[in-house]
Structure 1
């Protein structure tokens, strides 16, 4: 019998969280802006997307995914692309103070 302990995790285990996402039945244009959208329209659309995310049972899974793959577009896990970019590019703080 083959030893299957080292096989990768089935894909469904990795992506099942998407089946429970609050956005599944929401038009994707709420989460992804059209090319010419700017100013108050963009702010309003992002706010609407974040409202959906705030009530989502898998917001943490979604956010983790977007940060891990560095998703460049849309609102994922309650964060805009700009917010994700800022999180990923902020300076890391050291947990201890070095003394010499």
Structure 2
């Protein structure tokens, strides 16, 4: 049977592992959001019998992500609009202000 001290040490190790994992996940998420307009460049390199070969450099520009939000008049309990859904196609008519 494990002693109390060993159990506490094991719990402390698990907590440190968990917190470290959460911090690394948040850090990765922060770097995953590349701003629009960023140019990403890449070039492959291969060594063959001691000789270095480079591919053509390539570039791509990060495009902006458009996430429109349509909020109809009303509340969740009493919605201003309702829409049916079919497996093939769903169309929700909406007029954007200023059009």
Report which of the two structures shows the higher radius of gyration computed on alpha carbons.
Answer: 2
- Bigger relative CO (Cα 8 Å, ≥ 6 apart): 1
Q: Shared fold by TM > 0.5?
A: no
Tell me the TM-score normalised to structure 1 length.
Answer: 0.23
Tell me the TM-score normalised to structure 2 length.
Answer: 0.24
Is the strand fraction higher in 1 or 2?
2
